[in-house]
Amino acid sequence: MDRIIENCETDPEKIIHDILKYKNSKKNLFIKNMAHHIANLDIDFIAEMKNIFFIRNPLQLITSFAKIIANPGSDDIGIETIYQIYSQYKDDQSVVLDSGELLKDPPIILRKLCGDLKIPFDESMISWQIGPKPYDGIWAEYWYENVHKSTGFTKQRATERILADRYLPLYESVLPFYDELFKHSIKA
């Protein structure tokens, strides 16, 4: 993981400057942030943007993170942080997208998402070529193994994993935040 930090910008002011620079030069700009990436960062700039709050069932999140991080905590999985950010910045330009709902019917959900964001839907959003992509970040080797093997949306094994008892307190603490966000998510 040190390699990621060594190869990416870490100065928050420079990162925000670059985001705003690109935002002003592109019709559509997609930025993926995980909740723990923006901890202690002034994110007021997102009020000027359309925001997708992408959520996943905490059972799946915790079992997935536990494969990479020895003892994932609430800050790692980020559901409470996403809820706090959503609560502060929600407006008619904010959309909640749940991975479980997306997997039920990707074309329908993505069409609804594009409609909410007022961007065109493209069939290439539904399927892709197998393998790494030139725009993958340096972190791809740690997190994108299944994505690189896929050609479309499929249910992952994490969906079927059993949550270890030691993670039950974490699961129970974040479930109310997930449930509240899920109420606002696009439904199939």
Under DSSP, the state recorded for 112 is H
More confident residue, 11 or 167: 167
Question: Using 50, 70 and 90 to split pLDDT, how confident is the model at 157?
Answer: low
- The model's confidence at residue 22, banded by pLDDT at 50, 70 and 90, is confident
Which pLDDT belongs to residue 53? 93
Give the residue from 174, 176, 156 showing the smallest Cα distance to 99.
156
Every domain of the chain and the residues it spans = 2-183
CB-CB contact of 39 with 64 (8 Å): no
Query: What pLDDT score does 1 carry?
Result: 63
pLDDT higher than threshold 90 for residue 182: yes
Decide: helix, strand or coil at residue 153.
Answer: coil
More confident residue, 149 or 146: 149
- List helix spans (H) across the chain: 2-7, 12-25, 58-68, 74-77, 79-89, 99-104, 106-117, 140-143, 145-149, 168-183
Q: What is the pLDDT of residues 79-117, one digit of tens each?
A: 999 999 999 888 777 899 999 999 999 999 999 999 999
Q: What percent of the chain has pLDDT over 70?
A: 96
Q: Could you give the CA distance from residue 97 to residue 5 in angstroms, rounded to a whole number?
A: 28
What type of residue is 133?
Answer: K
